[in-house]
Structure 1
């Protein structure tokens, strides 16, 4: 029944959003750029279709990819007076339908659904006499998920993986054997996995006429959000629901396809009008999220690529600061500068929860966790465990503690740590294939790097000193925080936004990631940077480091994606390149450095915090080298932020002026 107030839901929409909302019957393709209000457009379209009487609410199924997004759709539709519309994920919709149809298509109740297939994958690997750890099992499970998402079988897997340029966790023929054994293991256990839900329901629609007729009588209108992320398996199920009809509205942005590793492909979105030549096409390009400066940078990045939906965003907000580009000598310097900029933003009134630091892989988080702790900046880690909570790090710390107690510290510290980690099957050569195994390798490599950094600063350090350092860092970084700066990978940042965004670690071999070799993989890495840029509302900073650690050769190259984006002439808004950090003081400064460390030790004991929370060794070295004689001079040193400046200026200047550290008053916590 038509609602006399249907037109009220069109109020406030821009011309393109209104055009999308008024196209109440399919086929409709909405190309919606980042920040253009796509959720607003599709919810108002559904509400207008329902309230105008064009579509009965019970006959419309809206499909998206996460339970959170589906819940947001339902809430918005309810607020718009369109209750009764079903909004579900592909898997939730398939599960609901299969529970009803299982007696007809399976001859009984639906089997239990395996939430975590690792045990079955492990059993399959064991039956094939493969020795695998948990990380390798997770990568094998992910590879099987990909195979099923792209409709590959164990027999066709090797060929499909080669064509896609997959970086397989085991040789392709071995993965195929594990895949086949896994499918048999599920049959023996009488269970199904999430991909099976889609496969079985799609097959039921294809093979059982009565099932297809009943489903298609119930659902006559479909809306699919994030259509660029649809896999071949999901498209097969969608085709089964449609049954040759065309009342379909899809919404997406090919420039934000970043999940092809899980089977997503933008081809269904880009080829929509080839399949439906009479489809209504609406382009949403007015960006309401970001400033024109951020929008222009995103557009430049897309123009530098070779594929995409060719959407050109048009900024609608008032002008803001230009995006900043900064180069640093090493990763700790980059992290320290980022933390201090976060501190400055918070001090100037930006809520910590409106700031994000985004990186390519979770293993990069440790140096930023450390820098945030040093700068007393609260933070939350999204999309991954805190560094010291990761299983491999907990296991490594236990092994290192045992080795320290056993006195296994005759070698250099770095060599001793490598020897201990070899017991976890870690090797210092190139990281293994597979995302989870690679991140595990990177996390353990970070411990080796930390050991080498500690040894460079304290040549006498052995395993007990490293264990104490790890304990202190873990304790400091696990302080509970409710509101904080978000540390997240670029993948986990999809769909989110912040006032200020720092994109860090932008070097070749990191973005694009080293194992991205095909043209499509490189293109996806570019899209990942695009997603990162478009998360920022007002402030955006992009940075990279020329070396991993202080003192190393500065041989890294900035990401090739920054070519043509970063300015050739330095500007005032671009963070200046800091002086190269030293890892040990010059001889003339050794006595001052020793007095500074003595003062820091007393201060840390008084506050009951690890010494590095007061100042890191690298910062003390920089202070000893620069010998600042004023607050202004001290403020120019990397690692001395506004909070530390207020707290420690007077006692530091006293020590620098020659005062005995033991006689300098301590700052109370």
Structure 2
């Protein structure tokens, strides 16, 4: 069947869907977003307002009613799970319709680079994608090679700084802060950063930031490539636009440059990723940047009760960086929120477990319940209490499938087949299964390759390099080289066949038997079977995808992509992981100062930080469909010390009328005796010298606001000017 036949078949499938079908069941704002023709479109979508339905029906409308060909549509989401859901929904509306690109930013960029990255020498199309773990391992090796201690200069932290600096290339307004007390100065950081960039190029590898930045570089340096995509994609749709960073904003602008048919959907009130570069200004300034768009507000909520919506709306109204929406629902009034005070984190966990047991006793299911928390360390007490109470639970975002040892080993073998320069993959499996190749041998080979700017597989083929190795290690390297050479013909074949060949080549039973480190061998073997099944399923769904495409999918998977909501178990997760999910019964633990809002966020950016923390709490509240429990402890074991804990000021922002046990006109606040302490503003004056726990000595330049909103601008001797909320800053007069 040629292209014209395929197009005709698609048009025939589309013809069976009428305008009435596509608009049935939509409210008026949803309809206006779906049928919008050409020009920019801003969809401000409140939580639970049906935005995914609007996006998918808009795609179907463009194809069936506006005469747009499917290959002219680009839809971008933020997770593979969301992209898969969107594809599935579009397929239900228009069966067998192909051609549209529906993917994440990273998947889209990887796809573009697979075709054109060779314009950016020295990279080639068989590049590897390094995840955060790969990146940190490489940085650790570089820190050691440069003669520094990775315990002092922590690889994960350095990796975060490198990521931040990469994104500064596109946003010079974003300062790079290197301050963790380790003593890493600009000179040391520059050495590590430059060595990292060089090793990545030598290994023909890109990290997650590189996928976006290299695509932006490709568009900037080769306008013809950019124009080819801007011409092809006549309609661009971006979901979760409030979470885009500067690079994603620029990529979107490039792709919409030929026509201006850009539809973005998002909610400034749910922008919670500023710590990783998301810029709320992208959605707040959309009307200014893209010129008189149609603005549609999706304010009808189909998820939560009136009470939960009222509480959440009152909370978020305290933010200034937002687009005002008036959320409403036709649903029931619902039960009031429950705020529980507990003695410590263990009592808190036991109380949550007891409440969940009560849900089950009233005919509900464990799967109806979710527990959110701000930081991962809080998970331990919750797990312990749930186990003791006999409550099944599932941790979302813990040690996920693709992070397991046996899975990472197999994926490394596959990566090495596709990209022989992938030294991170080489180093992972050179001694898996055990071949007697120790750190001394590996160190000699690494030094040989670094001196010659070659890769580790080059060393295997070099008599000079192999001559550096003695005894059992030499035999082990020869065995490893033989396995790789036997597997090389599989590099362009189906993923399932390549994986089966790897398992046969390394000796599956021997390799699994050697992994005696806590997990049962049966579990590891089951995980291997699951990966094999996944590879075979990929081959079935992508007959032309081959092994490189499978590896790309694996590299870009995230914690939430592997979330399984079907298990009848309580879900435990951080507030960030809860984004996009919903549950009948929600518990938010640790509603205390230093946790919600997080102390670090307020230190790094006090004014913007408090607003993002409030947005994060708002996201947590709006996941709840029926009931919402908020818990806080009087004391909590926190960073090696038991501390007194003050209730979160966000609890004060929830009107009493929405809280169980309090009345609309009750003079008591939500927290009763826990009134905010005096912010200390009255004792401070402009020009006064003060001391801050982290920023040191400084002078007050201005004072503003009152109560919990009292602020001071302080110019510190070592850290410059900072805007501080006095209720958190605890300034001491000098």
Q: Which residue of 2 aligns with 1:447?
A: none
Q: Which among 39, 42, 48 is matched to residue 61 of structure 2?
A: 48
Distance 1:513 1:207 in 2: 41
| Offset from partner CA, 1:613-643 (integer Å, 9 cap, x none) | xxxxxxxxxxxxxxxxxxxxxxxxxxxxxxx
Q: Which residue of 2 aligns with 1:86?
A: 101
Q: Which residue of 2 aligns with 1:222?
A: 236
Q: Secondary structure at the match of 2:192?
A: helix
CA contact (8 A) 1:10 1:48 kept: no
Compute the displacement of 1:296 (Å): 0.5
> 1:492/1:132 Cα in 2 relative to 1: closer, same or farther (>3 Å)?
same
Q: Which among 325, 339, 345 is matched to residue 339 of structure 2?
A: 325
1:120 aligns with 2:138: yes
1:335 aligns with 2:349: yes
**Once superposed, what is the RMSD of the aligned Cα atoms?**
3.3
Q: Which among 499, 524, 540 is matched to residue 628 of structure 2?
A: 540
Compute the displacement of 1:360 (Å): 0.3
1:7 aligns with 2:20: yes
Distance 1:253 1:531 in 2: 11
Distance 1:146 1:196 in 2: 12
Q: Which among 143, 146, 156 is matched to residue 164 of structure 2?
A: 146
TM-score normalised per structure 1: 0.67
Q: Secondary structure at the match of 1:318?
A: coil
> 5 Å matches for 1:648-667?
none
Compute the displacement of 1:230 (Å): 0.6
> 1:284/1:181 Cα in 2 relative to 1: closer, same or farther (>3 Å)?
same
> 1:166/1:567 Cα in 2 relative to 1: closer, same or farther (>3 Å)?
farther
> 1:303/1:48 Cα in 2 relative to 1: closer, same or farther (>3 Å)?
same
> 1:329/1:390 Cα in 2 relative to 1: closer, same or farther (>3 Å)?
farther
Q: Which among 548, 571, 574 is matched to residue 489 of structure 1?
A: 574
Distance 2:293 2:568 in 1: 45
Distance 2:222 2:169 in 1: 20
Compute the displacement of 1:79 (Å): 0.8
Compute the displacement of 1:375 (Å): 1.3
| Offset from partner CA, 1:418-437 (integer Å, 9 cap, x none) | xxxxxxxxxxxxxxxxxxxx
Compute the displacement of 1:74 (Å): 0.6
1:100 aligns with 2:185: no
Q: Which among 503, 508, 511 is matched to residue 596 of structure 2?
A: 511
> 1:169/1:322 Cα in 2 relative to 1: closer, same or farther (>3 Å)?
farther
| Offset from partner CA, 1:245-304 (integer Å, 9 cap, x none) | 311000000111111111111111110100123210000011111000000011011112
Distance 2:394 2:156 in 1: 25
Q: Which runs of 5+ in 2 are unaligned?
A: 1-10, 406-518, 524-565, 664-669, 672-734
Distance 1:334 1:352 in 2: 18
Which piece of structure 1 moves more, 94-103 or 329-338? 94-103
Compute the displacement of 1:61 (Å): 0.3
Distance 1:554 1:120 in 2: 38
Q: Which residue of 2 aligns with 1:353?
A: 367
1:29 aligns with 2:48: no
Q: How many pairs does the alignment contain?
A: 483
Distance 1:25 1:341 in 2: 51
Compute the displacement of 1:373 (Å): 1.3
> 5 Å matches for 1:280-319?
280-319=294-333
Q: Which residue of 2 aligns with 1:61?
A: 74
CA contact (8 A) 1:59 1:218 kept: yes
Compute the displacement of 1:333 (Å): 1.4
CA contact (8 A) 1:29 1:272 kept: yes
> 1:129/1:71 Cα in 2 relative to 1: closer, same or farther (>3 Å)?
same
Distance 2:292 2:55 in 1: 20
> 1:139/1:40 Cα in 2 relative to 1: closer, same or farther (>3 Å)?
same
| Offset from partner CA, 1:424-455 (integer Å, 9 cap, x none) | xxxxxxxxxxxxxxxxxxxxxxxxxxxxxxxx
1:200 aligns with 2:183: no
Distance 2:367 2:645 in 1: 32
> 1:344/1:279 Cα in 2 relative to 1: closer, same or farther (>3 Å)?
same
Compute the displacement of 1:323 (Å): 0.8
Q: Which among 366, 377, 388 is matched to residue 363 of structure 1?
A: 377
1:530 aligns with 2:618: yes
Q: Secondary structure at the match of 1:367?
A: helix
> 1:379/1:497 Cα in 2 relative to 1: closer, same or farther (>3 Å)?
same
Q: Which among 74, 78, 89 is matched to residue 87 of structure 2?
A: 74
Which piece of structure 1 moves more, 302-311 or 224-233? 302-311
Which piece of structure 1 moves more, 184-193 or 338-347? 184-193
Q: Which runs of 5+ in 1 are unaligned?
A: 392-473, 578-669
CA contact (8 A) 1:199 1:237 kept: no
| Offset from partner CA, 1:478-532 (integer Å, 9 cap, x none) | 9xx9521111110111111100000111110111112122211121111110010
Distance 1:534 1:377 in 2: 24
Q: Which residue of 1 aligns with 2:280?
A: 266
Distance 2:362 2:148 in 1: 56
> 1:170/1:561 Cα in 2 relative to 1: closer, same or farther (>3 Å)?
farther
CA contact (8 A) 2:309 2:622 kept: yes
Compute the displacement of 1:112 (Å): 2.6
Distance 1:308 1:555 in 2: 33
TM-score normalised per structure 2: 0.61
Compute the displacement of 1:150 (Å): 4.2
CA contact (8 A) 1:324 1:573 kept: no
Distance 2:630 2:209 in 1: 38
Q: Which residue of 1 aligns with 2:682?
A: none
> 1:179/1:243 Cα in 2 relative to 1: closer, same or farther (>3 Å)?
same
> 1:278/1:361 Cα in 2 relative to 1: closer, same or farther (>3 Å)?
same
CA contact (8 A) 2:33 2:54 kept: yes
1:555 aligns with 2:644: yes
Q: Secondary structure at the match of 1:500?
A: strand
> 1:196/1:554 Cα in 2 relative to 1: closer, same or farther (>3 Å)?
closer
CA contact (8 A) 1:512 1:559 kept: yes
Q: Secondary structure at the match of 1:286?
A: coil
Compute the displacement of 1:224 (Å): 0.3
Q: Which residue of 2 aligns with 1:458?
A: none
Distance 2:165 2:258 in 1: 26
Q: Which residue of 2 aligns with 1:403?
A: none
| Offset from partner CA, 1:303-330 (integer Å, 9 cap, x none) | 1222222223112311210111111222
| Offset from partner CA, 1:597-621 (integer Å, 9 cap, x none) | xxxxxxxxxxxxxxxxxxxxxxxxx
